[in-house]
């Protein structure tokens, strides 16, 4: 990658936001995948328990779900909170360096999970004078296009038992779109059901704990810390 200009046509530009939403066929394939595989897996195999589901905003206004991240199952469980027809408005924000590592994985995750790929290293490259789509701009564009985001502010999968320090990107978004509610969520036991580095899940009961939607105010560090403690608080209320 060093020194090369980014020519990959597969990585959309921020202003293409409308074009990287699902086509009809992709939406259909995603719906099929959820009805036949994800739903049965999550409900029968894992036996997902949901606490305070009613706190998730209804209607078409965009919102941001933030959660701790300890397993590859996290995104599937969060998407499972919604009826199939709402999936096309939900964008799990995912690391391009991992989920776009080859065209096949890229196509798969974009179609089946409708991910919003972001380049975790883009801003660092910016500083060194290279081009790269600012991941924050891309998330902002999606929100402005009326889509909701699923975001793991820890930035990577941690271990099952602790919530690590949140990155500040979520605080930047909260300042840029102060009217978009942010819903803190704690995912319990998912890191045990499928820990980092393993590929066979075990059927533990997992729990999704939904917190009150927040409209945080203040400077970036205050917002970052407030959201982090909102998720940690849910962790400590079994």
Partner 1 sequence: MLEFLRTLEPQWRMAIIVLVVLALASVVLAVLRRARPERDYRELTARTRSWWIMASVFFAAVGLSNLLSIGFFALMSFWAMKEYITLLETRPADHGALVLAFLCIPVQYVWVAQEWYGMFVIFIPVYMFLGLATRLVLAGETRGFVSSMAQIHWGLMALVFGLSHMSYLLTADANPDLPGVDGRTLVLFLVFVVEMSDVFQYVWGKSFGRRKIIPTVSPNKTWEGLLGGIASTMLVSLAIRFLTPFSVLECLAVVLLVTVAGFFGGAVMSAIKRDFGVKDFGRLIPGHGGMLDRVDSLCFAAPVFFHYLAYFHYD
Enumerate binding residues for partner 1 (CB under 8 A). 47, 49, 159-160, 189, 192, 195, 198, 200, 202-205
Question: Other CB atoms closer than 10 Å to residue 202's CB: what's the count?
Answer: 11
- Measured from the CB atom, is 47 or 178 closer to partner 1? 47
Question: Other CB atoms closer than 10 Å to residue 97's CB: what's the count?
Answer: 13
Rounded to a whole number of angstroms, the minimum distance from the CB of residue 150 to partner 1 is 25
- Measured from the CB atom, is 130 or 189 closer to partner 1? 189
Question: For the chain, what's the residue count?
Answer: 238
Taking alpha carbons only, the member of 218, 211, 164, 175 closest to residue 55 is 211
- Measured from the CB atom, is 92 or 201 closer to partner 1? 201
Rounded to a whole number of angstroms, the minimum distance from the CB of residue 56 to partner 1 is 21
Judge whether 160 and 207 are in contact, CB under 8 Å: no
Rounded to a whole number of angstroms, the minimum distance from the CB of residue 209 to partner 1 is 15
Rounded to a whole number of angstroms, the minimum distance from the CB of residue 51 to partner 1 is 12
- Measured from the CB atom, is 204 or 214 closer to partner 1? 204
Judge whether 46 and 194 are in contact, CB under 8 Å: no
- Measured from the CB atom, is 145 or 204 closer to partner 1? 204
Rounded to a whole number of angstroms, the minimum distance from the CB of residue 205 to partner 1 is 4
Q: What are the angstrom distances between the C-alpha of 232 and each of 171, 209, 237? A: 16, 11, 9
Tokens coding 122: 């883009």
């Amino acid at each position: 990658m060093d020194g090369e200009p980014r020519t990959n046509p597969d990585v959309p530009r921020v202003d293409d936001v409308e074009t990287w939403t699902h086509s009809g066929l992709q939406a259909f394939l995603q719906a099929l995948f959820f009805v036949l595989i994800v739903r049965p897996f999550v409900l029968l195999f894992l036996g997902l328990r949901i606490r305070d589901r009613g706190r998730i905003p209804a209607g078409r206004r965009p919102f941001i779900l933030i959660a701790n991240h300890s397993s590859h199952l996290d995104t599937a469980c969060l998407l499972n909170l919604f009826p199939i027809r709402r999936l096309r408005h939900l964008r799990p924000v995912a690391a391009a360096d991992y989920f776009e590592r080859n065209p096949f994985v890229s196509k798969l995750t974009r179609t089946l999970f409708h991910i919003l790929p972001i380049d975790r290293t883009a801003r660092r490259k910016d500083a060194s004078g290279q081009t790269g789509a600012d991941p924050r701009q891309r998330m902002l564009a999606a929100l402005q296009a009326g889509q909701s985001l699923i975001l793991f502010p820890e930035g990577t999968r941690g271990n099952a038992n602790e919530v690590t320090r949140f990155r500040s990107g979520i605080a930047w978004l909260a300042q840029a779109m102060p009217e978009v509610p942010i819903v803190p969520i704690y995912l319990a036991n998912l890191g045990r059901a499928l820990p980092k580095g393993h590929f066979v899940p075990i059927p533990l009961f997992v729990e999704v704990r939904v917190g009150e939607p927040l409209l945080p105010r203040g400077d970036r560090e205050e917002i970052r810390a407030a959201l982090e403690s909102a998720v940690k608080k849910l962790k400590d209320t079994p």
